[in-house]
Copies of this chain bind each other. A is one copy, B any other.
């Protein structure tokens, strides 16, 4: 298809598609003449990914480019690539240093019996989140940690079971699934609170 048809198919203004081409977020089409190129389903799919990353996920063009590089070249060590891709997603947290930079996160992960890689951004995120609950006078108790951890591990196992085997698709699934499903999870938790509370009032 021509670039105008591609833009229509992706639901984006033509100028935006051209901008993504210039910025290297979209791979070039196949030249069909000196001034025209042809695009296919791979371009539609890429535009959908770029739109999600720059729109709903809220990444900059530069951050999006970094994630696309991992999608395009997952390398041989998929585990490390997935970790890097997720670490490139918001929220951005301050990296600490020292002998034991994330003491609260370390203690929590030890209590949960989980692997602990301090290089992984989510460790610093957990540390900051636990610190904030403490400062607010509502620290995570051990029983709450174990209860949350148990259910989130079940959700994570479900997510991993459905991850595509093909490496490029696996990176794309992991990035989008992490960022976009997080918002679903938080809305569902608030709605579950309301439902449980309504049930108590009704004596259910």
Residue pair B159, A193 in contact (C-beta under 8 Å):
yes
Min CB distance A5 to B, Å, is 19
- Asked if A82 lies at the interface with its beta carbon under 8 angstroms from chain B, I say yes
Question: For A180, what are the chain B residues with a Cβ–Cβ distance below 8 Å?
Answer: 129, 132-133, 136, 138
**Given contacts A86-B193, A186-B125, A190-B86, is CB(A155)–CB(B160) below 8 Å?**
no
- Select one of B138, B156, B189 contacting A152, CB under 8 A: B189
Residue of B nearest to A184 (CB): B129
Residue of B nearest to A108 (CB): B188
Interface string of A72-93 (1 = CB under 8 A from B): 0000000100110010000100
A window 168-204: CB within 8 A of B: 173-174, 176-178, 180-198, 200-201
* Bound CA–CA A86/B180 (angstroms): 21
Min CB distance A64 to B, Å, is 13
Question: For A115, what are the chain B residues with a Cβ–Cβ distance below 8 Å?
Answer: 194-195, 198
* Bound CA–CA A180/B189 (angstroms): 13
Question: For A173, what are the chain B residues with a Cβ–Cβ distance below 8 Å?
Answer: 138
**Given contacts A114-B195, A117-B194, is CB(A184)–CB(B137) below 8 Å?**
no
Residue of B nearest to A49 (CB): B136
Interchain residue pairs A-B with the least CB separation, the first 5:
A156-B192, A52-B136, A129-B183, A126-B187, A122-B190
10 intermolecular pairs with C-beta atoms under 8 Å apart: A48-B137, A49-B137, A56-B135, A120-B191, A123-B191, A125-B190, A137-B176, A138-B177, A151-B152, A160-B193
